[in-house]
């Protein structure tokens, strides 16, 4: 059965461009992103891995470790990384799994046979420090993902984990956030000293608490 939000992310050992890794050891106590791409030496994938590399500091700031995966060989990954660095003006510093036996693709349901029998689709999982799946997105091979959106979701997830707030539609860093329904207005007023704007009893905003 495929994974769902809140499920424990399966652990695995895998061959990567940074040596053999145990996924849980790689993640440690922090956050993680595991994302698949269809194939090395393809144009959209080249831009996606380049963009992720350019955002490495942003992921690190949020204590997020990044791990890419496709069913190509280590030899292909290592050759392709040179092309990514050259064409995207970056330095790929995160490991890429060589999932030739499709172990990871199987555990995370990354092959969608009606899209392709052989290649992984563009799956992305955000995994929390508790090793639970917090976000799953799946894009087709022809559409590159928006990695600023991934960072935005990580910010939202971390605000929820640390401050019991949610984020409204199209929320951006710095904008007001939502008090979750589990917190009473009385408690919210104590918990959020910057103020609580009660628009409706169920719709309450407060300034982003970690600024
Ligand atoms: C690409 O990364 O450009 C790509 C990969 C597989 C199928 C289509 C596009």
Domain ranges of the chain: 13-145, 163-206
| Exposed e or buried b per residue across 70-92, where buried means at least 16 C-beta atoms within 10 angstroms of its C-beta | bbbeeebbeebbeebbeebebeb
Ligand 1 geometric centre to CA of 103 (Å): 21
pLDDT at 206 over 90: yes
Q: Edge-to-edge strands of the sheet including 177-179?
A: 165-166, 177-179, 203-206, 197-200
Say if ligand 1 is within 6 A of residue 14 CB. Answer: no
Residue 127: count of CB within 10 angstroms of its CB: 23
What CA–CA distance (Å, rounded) separates 60 from 73?
27
Pick the CATH number of 163-206 from 3.30.1020.10, 3.40.50.620, 3.40.50.1370, 3.40.190.10: 3.30.1020.10
The contacts of residue 200 (CB under 8 Å, 6+ apart) are none
CA atoms within 13 A on the CB side of 105: 25
CATH 3.40.980.10 fits 13-145, yes or no: no
pLDDT tens-place string over residues 98-109: 999 999 999 999
Q: What is the pLDDT of residues 119-166, one digit of tens each?
A: 999 999 999 999 999 999 999 999 999 999 999 999 999 999 999 999
2 Cβ closer than 6 Å to some ligand 1 atom: no
Q: Which helix (H) or strand (E) holds 26?
A: helix 23-27
C-alpha radius of gyration, the chain, whole number: 19
Residues annotated as part of the active site: 45
Q: Which of 41, 44, 122 to mutate to test the pocket of ligand 1 (most atoms within 8 A of CB)?
A: 44
Q: Is the CB of 49 under 6 A from ligand 1?
A: no
Mean of the per-residue pLDDT values for the chain? 97
Regarding pTM above 0.95, the answer is yes
Please tell me the predicted confidence (pLDDT) of residue 2.
87
The CA distance from 46 to 109, in Å, is 22
pLDDT of amino acid 1: 65
- Which atom of ligand 1 approaches the CA of 43 most closely? 3
What kind and span of H or E run contains 181? none
Q: For 138-184, where are the alpha helices, taking DSSP H only? A: 147-163
- Taking the centre of ligand 1 as the mean of its atom positions, its distance from the CA of residue 45, in whole angstroms, is 6
Q: Are 14 and 99 in contact, with CB atoms under 8 Å apart?
A: yes
CA 83–ligand 1 middle distance (angstroms): 15
Calpha distance 179→193 (Å, rounded): 13
pLDDT digits (tens, 9 = 90+) for 25-39: 999 999 999 999 999
Query: What would the pLDDT profile of 59-94 be if each residue is shown by its tens digit?
Result: 999 999 999 999 999 999 999 999 999 999 999 999
């Amino acid at each position: 059965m495929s994974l769902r939000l809140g499920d424990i992310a399966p652990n695995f050992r895998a061959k990567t461009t940074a040596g053999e890794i145990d996924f849980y050891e790689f993640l440690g106590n922090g956050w993680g992103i595991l994302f698949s791409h269809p194939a090395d030496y393809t144009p959209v994938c080249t831009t996606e891995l380049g963009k992720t590399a350019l955002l490495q500091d942003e992921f690190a700031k949020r204590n997020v470790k990044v791990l890419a995966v496709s069913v190509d060989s280590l030899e292909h990954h290592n050759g392709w990384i040179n092309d990514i660095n050259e064409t995207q003006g970056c330095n790929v510093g995160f490991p890429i799994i060589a999932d030739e036996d499709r172990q990871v693709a199987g555990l995370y349901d990354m092959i969608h046979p009606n899209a392709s029998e052989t290649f992984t689709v563009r799956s992305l999982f955000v995994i929390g420090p508790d090793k639970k799946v917090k976000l799953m997105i799946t894009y087709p091979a022809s559409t590159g993902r928006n990695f600023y959106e991934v960072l935005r979701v990580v910010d939202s997830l971390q605000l929820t984990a640390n401050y019991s707030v949610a984020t409204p539609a199209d929320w951006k860093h710095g904008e007001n956030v939502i008090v979750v329904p589990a917190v009473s207005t009385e408690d919210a007023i104590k918990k959020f000293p910057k103020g609580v704007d009660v628009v409706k009893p169920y719709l309450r905003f407060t300034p982003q608490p970690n600024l």
